[in-house]
Amino acid sequence: GESVGLHLPTLSVQEGDNSIINCAYSNSASDYFIWYKQESGKGPQFIIDIRSNMDKRQGQRVTVLLNKTVKHLSLQIAATQPGDSAVYFCAENKAGPHSSGSARQLTFGSGTQLTVLP
Amino acid sequence: DAGVIQSPRHEVTEMGQEVTLRCKPISGHNSLFWYRQTMMRGLELLIYFNNNVPIDDSGMPEDRFSAKMPNASFSTLKIQPSEPRDSAVYFCASWEGTNEQFFGPGTRLTVL
């Protein structure tokens, strides 16, 4: 029979347009959020992060918006380029069980496939 | 800096065989994570180490999976015996204690 995988949301944009990728997170106590980009055959690569005491952070061509009221995160990419085509993951932080020096446990969303059209 | 190094990049094996995946974290990073990525389940955390000590292995699927970190510059993930459902891409990531985790290129495992 046919295998069923994750339903990966997709977004197609024209080259040069702006892209907005959305993410809903689950844990209201999460204090740190991060966006990763994963190109085909590669590992996830950091794009931008934001802490819960902020609602907006800007990087080079990217902006992350955080709405804690509705537990929503978005990634905006300005002037989208062909090289931006990839799967984008949001992740939220859950602190490890140790009280000091604990590592960050990230919980990843399912990802959004961004395709940039010429 | 070479980043996180994983080997092998591709592994094809037969059901029942032992598989060992290797990871070298970024020098100076004190935390190391093993993830598995499949179409069915996405990116899942299997286990992570802090200062070479396993902290949380609740994501390890079953006893066939084991992970070690004998020193700060090396970790292994072992599957014995391997099964076809273990086929996935396995990622190692390291963290230096502040911001993002740095991921390796992954090992694509195929169990026939």
Question: Cβ-count burial of B31 within 10 angstroms (0-12 exposed, 13-18 middle, 19+ buried)?
Answer: buried
Asked whether A66 and A5 are in contact (CB, 8 A), the reply is no
Amino acid, single-letter form, for residue B72: A
Cβ distance B106 to A43 less than 8 Å, yes or no, reads yes
Amino acid, single-letter form, for residue A116: V
In whole angstroms, how far apart are CA B68 and each of A43, A100, B71, B99, B109? 21, 22, 9, 24, 19
B75 — pLDDT class (breaks 50, 70, 90): very high
Closest alpha carbon within chain B to A98: B55
Query: How does pLDDT run across A97-108, given as a tens digit for each residue?
Result: 443 344 567 888
Query: How does pLDDT run across A11-46, given as a tens digit for each residue?
Result: 999 999 999 999 998 888 888 899 999 999 999 999
- Any idea what DSSP says for residue B101? -
Q: How many Å apart are CA A12 and CA B68, to the nearest integer?
A: 42
In whole angstroms, how far apart are CA B63 and each of A107, B16, B36? 23, 14, 16
In whole angstroms, how far apart are CA B89 and each of A20, B5, B24, B41? 28, 14, 17, 12
Q: Which phi and psi angles does B84 have, rounded to 5°?
A: -55, -35
Cβ distance A105 to B45 less than 8 Å, yes or no, reads yes
Instruction: Please list every residue in chain B whose beta carbon sits closer than 8 Å to the beta carbon of residue A111.
Output: 42-43
